[in-house]
Amino acid sequence: MNTAIDLRSDTVTRPTAAMRAAMASAEVGDDQYGEDPSTNRLQGRVADMLGKEAALWLPSGTMANQVALRSLTRPGDEVVASRESHAAWHEVGGAAANAGVQIHEIGHGGVFTAEELRAATKPRHFAIFPTTTLVQVENTHNRAGGVVLPQQEVLRICAVARELKLACFLDGARLWNASVASGMALDTLAAPFDLVAVAFSKGLGAPGGSMLAGGKDLIAVADRHRRRMGGAMRQNGIFSAAALHALDHHLARLPEDHANAFAFADRLRAGAPVQLDMATVQTNIVVFHLPPSFTLDAPQLCAQARAQGVLVNAFGPRTVRAVTHLDVDRAQCERAAGVLVELLAR
Ligand SMILES: *Cc1c(COP(=O)(O)O)cnc(C)c1O
């Protein structure tokens, strides 16, 4: 039995009994022949939700990002992305290794402006510059604390991108959370982008899977890159059934995670001298920094918390991340904050 309060990530959720039942009775076929009914249903549904012509199953969000980069760039190109984006920090250099591109990180706190994109885009006629061909936006932004990008700025960014002949990619692994927090429809958030990635394995609580959505021709290109990377699967309907179940039953409960994250952050900030900007606590992620006066570093604090049954992640030498999800309730989040407050008072 697992009694720890696990706030390391929203990926630690386990399939519920109902989700497992949906998986067990899933209609399946060979997805490499396009014959998996559950995957076809999921792809159609997600394409509709995101307002795109087509969508493609990917085994992970990391592969979705890699396939998107391969589909929208050429080796030697430069990609402009938000500072500390997942593609630059959490994919083991996959952008360089798999797509042969370099990432130029801009902005602050997960956000950047259209003017910053314009300044970062290298002029094409200059002999020595790499060609900037893509702008990548992450919404919500993980390392910045799950912040939602203002859609007005996203529209301005993508307008500048069009003018400068850059493609636009949205890493929306947690776009569901952005939609809930902003009250804006998924297709509105996705509209300015050529390709959009979403994940089923984060707040939605499915055991795996992501999807890329976009125009039919571009998704056909992505399909070939997926196959080349070894991401084309067979009776994938078992996974797709879990994702369909998550869309039916877990999407609507995301506001609970957001409220729990806020309660956790509020309790922590009220009780301990951590650096925690409550303005960043917009969804299900809480990122905070240890005060200079505190003698332990983040990994040490996390180890002490673990000994008391609370699991959080060291995100830097003095930075800690906690994420709420469907396997932790309000009382557990408050208890976890209480344990951290006590440790920080020592
Ligand atoms: C988790 C995450 C990914 C990668 O998803 P995996 O399924 O873990 O590979 C990509 N982008 C963002 C913003 C994420 O949070």
Q: ∠ CA 170-176-177 to the nearest 5 degrees? A: 105
> Residue 240 is part of a domain; what is its CATH number?
3.40.640.10
**CA neighbours closer than 13 Å in the CB half-sphere of residue 284:** 30
> Residue 265 is part of a domain; what is its CATH number?
3.90.1150.10
pLDDT band at 3 (very low <50, low <70, confident <90, very high): confident
Measured in Å, residue 201 CA sits from the centre of ligand 1 at 9
Same domain? 141 vs 72: yes
Identify the domain boundary among 223, 249, 275: 249
Measured in Å, residue 306 CA sits from the centre of ligand 1 at 24
Same domain? 150 vs 28: yes
Same domain? 242 vs 262: no
Is the Cβ atom of 201 under 6 angstroms away from ligand 1? yes
Would residue 10 count as lying in a domain?
Answer: no
Same domain? 92 vs 104: yes
Q: Which amino acid is at 19?
A: M
Would residue 1 count as lying in a domain?
Answer: no
In this predicted structure, the answer to whether residue 249 has a pLDDT above a threshold of 70 is yes
Identify the domain boundary among 195, 221, 249: 249
Q: What are the tens digits of pLDDT across the range 115-154? A: 999 999 999 989 999 999 999 999 999 999 999 999 999 9
Would residue 6 count as lying in a domain?
Answer: no
Measured in Å, residue 282 CA sits from the centre of ligand 1 at 18
Same domain? 206 vs 302: no
Is the Cβ atom of 286 under 6 angstroms away from ligand 1? no
Burial class (CB in 10 A: 0-12, 13-18, 19+), 4: middle
Same domain? 48 vs 167: yes
Same domain? 263 vs 222: no
Q: What are the tens digits of pLDDT across the range 196-217? A: 999 999 999 999 999 999 999 9
Same domain? 260 vs 242: no
Would residue 7 count as lying in a domain?
Answer: no
How many C-beta neighbours within 10 Å does residue 33 have?
A: 8
pLDDT at 2: 56
In this predicted structure, the answer to whether residue 219 has a pLDDT above a threshold of 70 is yes
Same domain? 215 vs 262: no
In angstroms, how far is CA 4 from the centroid of its own chain?
24
The residue nearest atom 8 of ligand 1, judged by CA position, is: 61
Would residue 4 count as lying in a domain?
Answer: no
Q: What are the tens digits of pLDDT across the range 29-49? A: 999 999 999 999 999 999 999
| Residue of 142, 176, 189 to test ligand 1 pocket, by largest number of atoms within 8 Å of CB | 142
Q: What is the mean pLDDT of residues 221-228?
A: 98
Is the Cβ atom of 240 under 6 angstroms away from ligand 1? no
In this predicted structure, the answer to whether residue 1 has a pLDDT above a threshold of 60 is no
Residues of 95-112 as b/e, b for ≥16 C-beta within 10 angstroms?
beebbebebbbbbebbbb
pTM over 0.95: yes
Same domain? 283 vs 190: no
Would residue 127 count as lying in a domain?
Answer: yes
Is the Cβ atom of 210 under 6 angstroms away from ligand 1? yes
Range of the domain at 331: 253-345
Would residue 11 count as lying in a domain?
Answer: no
Same domain? 137 vs 166: yes
Same domain? 198 vs 272: no
Would residue 12 count as lying in a domain?
Answer: no
Q: Among the residues of 51-174, which ranges form H helices?
A: 61-72, 86-89, 94, 114-120, 151-163
Structural domains in the chain (count): 2
Is the Cβ atom of 207 under 6 angstroms away from ligand 1? no
Identify the domain boundary among 224, 249, 274: 249
